[in-house]
Structure 1
Amino acid sequence: MRRFGTGDRIRALGAMSGTSLDGVDAAVIETDGERVFGFGDSAYRPYSEAERAVLRAALGLWEGPEVDAAAEVVETAHAEILSRFDGIDLIGFHGQTFAHDPKGRGTHQAGSGAILAEALGLPVVWDFRSADVRFGGEGAPLAPFYHFALAKFIEAEGPLAFLNLGGVGNLTFVDPGYAQADANGALLAFDTGPANAPINDLVQARLGQPLDKEGALAAQGEVDDAIVARFLQHPHFFRMAPKSLDRDAFAALAREVEALSDADAAATLTACAAASVMRGMEQCPEPPARLLATGGGRHNPVLMAMIAAGCDCPVVPVEDVGLDGDMLEAQAFAYLAVRVARGLSTSAPGTTGVRAAVGGGTLSRPGELAVALG
């Protein structure tokens, strides 16, 4: 079994199933855990409606039959998509987040990397967040170290920011003038607030659709400014970064828009997502030269226009600098897997609030589970 040494160009495959519950992204990168050398193939495996129902039933739960059933769905879907790739040295498996309470019970990503290592015959790095939480961190967001590597890859000359618009939004301020991601001042990262999750939940509940495609429903509606103003009084917006959120931290938003029409509710939830980004931009140490958007929300022109209207810098999709916004999160966990395998840090005080730079993750190799069970 391959060992992972300093400077090795490792072909790593990462997988991400986000809080939007749409499906599994998988992507290959070549990296030594510090530099990104290039990108390989990628694939997407959507969850079926039946699978999505099983996953939704486990949201907010830490254990029990619903969580067990959801973990099986996660493992099966990941094994299916990851088996399509050849020539892989290492896999990074995030799992599916069902509950996140870093200052309480911790963080919970369902799915066993050990089971996947057996099924795929490859080493798998997983459980990326637990170590960070044990050392006082929020356990999220974890993509910022990869954002730092990407800023170097695109040869950014000054500070910039990455905005991931997934189920929850998160922002990373990057100063590529620093040599290492874990240097004090190189990164500041935090969850901005809800992004796609409340919108997806609304259209699923009211229209039986998984998302507001291209913001078409929101474009027909009127924003209820009073609801947006109340939304911005949530305690999250008065906390200093780093900070993170559970997917359902803003569950009250659904009740706020109950009396609105479908279009007005979608428009208002979209405005809330944009407002949380604008509020987050105020915490950047200095104005970034540009805001690079990734994640599913960048496909929503209504959301992107609202964010651009409230920001003092250009807001563009990461494709404008040659990156893949659909696969960036999956790539991030491929990158982090290599860092774990090499014993490098994966989070720092500026990204999760952890007390000192820490490396998270468990490396499972084929055969280890069989030995443990034997």
Structure 2
Amino acid sequence: MRTIGLMSGTSLDGVDAAWVETDGETIGRYGPAVTLPYEPALRRDLRAVLDRVAERDAAGLPPEEDELLASCVARLTARHVEAVRAVAWQADLIGFHGQTILHRPTRPGSNHQPFTWQVGDAQRLARETGLSVAYDFRSADVAAGGQGAPLVPVVHGVMAQALPKPLAVLNLGGVANVTWIGPDGELIAFDTGPANGPLDDWARRSTGEAYDRDGRLAAMGQPDGGVLARLIAHPYLAAPPPKSLDRLDFGRALEEAGAGALSPADGAATLVAFCAVCVAAAARHFPAPPVQWLVAGGGRRNPALMRALASALTEPVRPVEVVGWNGDALEAQAFGVLAARVWRGLPLTFPGTTGVAEPLRGGKLVGPLL
């Protein structure tokens, strides 16, 4: 099946699109991949929506749809249509993740009803591209008591069939997540902690830049030991998997730890160090040490972050390109594979990846092939 996977991550930077030929269990070949940035106004409005929804959620109020959200959905869907057209290869099926607005899965001691919300108009996407669309990949898992994230581990397993194991695949997006792949294909996966999200927000507030380009701001600073110690004490790090995060989950913890009082450079360095500490803490939950860490996502382009990871981990830390993968397109490729799995009725999530009781199918389909 010829698929185009679409991913818009928690960094709110744009849409990745990638063509993949796949049956959901193997990958026949990879095709072109493109990235279309969100315009600054859309990024700003999406962040405003996220903040508003987070405030309502913290107050125990349900999410609400309003004119700003409707405008964001229309604009981001249009950008996804453009991304499909930019790939410019014939396809049968689209894997459409949408934009996460709120992710609040089952958590110990929480009275909140589990909830995950990704926005985007799948009907419009199917109509304007003429292709069938697989979407809403997370809801079934959350409804069944799973974390609803991460979703990509099963695809990591498909891609890594010929690689030495145990293997750790680390994705550094707004949030960091890891997949441990055992010698027999066993999967253990979870979110390790914050990654680019808080660092991007810090750079924007401190310097006006959208992110810490090339890690230069962090490289000029020093991690603050007191702030870092308070962050490391966060109970999320000690909690066993399965576990997952919303992009904004650590916002209050950063504020209470005193990060706001740091200089721009020291704040960036502290956030980089904290991301690395979270990843190192995650390794305690692996059945055996990996032979190497393969790093995908935008964070692998941050030299300061890659140096911090190399220092915090005992195994080699390398970008996924060393094994021939495309670290910029990997998550979009994965949603192409997941779309094929939805089409075929194959499970998307597993006890070791989201904590669901048994392998679980998910996703919905719309479009002309139905």
Could you say which TM-score interval applies, normalised by the shorter chain? over 0.9
Q: Secondary structure at the match of 1:229?
A: helix
Q: Which amino acid aligns with 2:64?
A: E
Partner of 2:9: 18
After superposition, give the CA deviation of every residue in 1:297-338 in whole Å (9 maximum; x if it has no partner). Answer: 000111111111111110000000000000101011000000
Contact 1:118 1:367 in 2 (8 A): no
After superposition, give the CA deviation of every residue in 1:226-247 in whole Å (9 maximum; x if it has no partner). Answer: 1111111112112111110011
Contact 2:273 2:308 in 1 (8 A): yes
Q: Secondary structure at the match of 1:124?
A: strand
Q: Secondary structure at the match of 1:191?
A: strand
Contact 1:151 1:176 in 2 (8 A): no
Q: Secondary structure at the match of 2:285?
A: coil
Partner of 2:195: 195
Partner of 1:172: 179
Q: Which amino acid aligns with 1:214?
A: D
Partner of 2:92: 89
After superposition, give the CA deviation of every residue in 1:103-132 in whole Å (9 maximum; x if it has no partner). Answer: 224100011212211111100000000000
Matches within 5 A, 1:312-323: 312-323=314-325
Q: Secondary structure at the match of 2:202?
A: helix
Deviation at 1:177, TM superposition (A): 2.5
Structure 2 gaps of 5+ residues are 54-62, 107-112
Runs of 4+ off more than 4 Å: none
Contact 1:292 1:315 in 2 (8 A): yes
Partner of 1:181: none
Partner of 1:138: 147
Matches within 5 A, 1:154-233: 155-178=162-185, 186-233=186-233
Question: Which of 121, 125, 128 is the matching residue for 2:134?
Answer: 125
Mapped partners of 2:74, 2:206: distance in 1:
28
Mapped partners of 1:349, 1:74: distance in 2:
32
Mapped partners of 2:202, 2:213: distance in 1:
13
Mapped partners of 1:123, 1:367: distance in 2:
6
Mapped partners of 1:63, 1:292: distance in 2:
39
Partner of 1:239: 239
Deviation at 1:262, TM superposition (A): 0.6
Q: Which amino acid aligns with 1:119?
A: E
Q: Which amino acid aligns with 1:19?
A: T
After superposition, give the CA deviation of every residue in 1:241-291 in whole Å (9 maximum; x if it has no partner). Answer: 111001111002542221111101111111111111111111111001000
Mapped partners of 1:354, 1:105: distance in 2:
13
State which drifts further: 204-213 or 14-23: 204-213
Q: Which amino acid aligns with 2:330?
A: L
Q: Which amino acid aligns with 1:170?
A: N
Question: Which of 12, 19, 23 is the matching residue for 1:28?
Answer: 19
Partner of 1:269: 271
Q: Does 1:42 align with 2:49?
A: no
Contact 1:25 1:43 in 2 (8 A): yes
Question: Which of 293, 296, 299 is the matching residue for 1:294?
Answer: 296
| TM-score, normalization by structure 2 | 0.92
Q: Does 1:64 align with 2:65?
A: yes
Mapped partners of 1:95, 1:58: distance in 2:
15
Q: Which amino acid aligns with 1:143?
A: V
Q: Secondary structure at the match of 2:260?
A: coil
Mapped partners of 2:33, 2:154: distance in 1:
21
Contact 2:135 2:365 in 1 (8 A): yes
Contact 2:97 2:118 in 1 (8 A): yes
Q: Secondary structure at the match of 1:83?
A: helix
Deviation at 1:198, TM superposition (A): 0.4
| TM-score, normalization by structure 1 | 0.91
Q: How many residues align?
A: 350
Mapped partners of 1:321, 1:210: distance in 2:
30
Q: Which amino acid aligns with 1:325?
A: G
After superposition, give the CA deviation of every residue in 1:142-196 in whole Å (9 maximum; x if it has no partner). Answer: 00000000111xx113210100000000010012523xxxxxxx10000000000
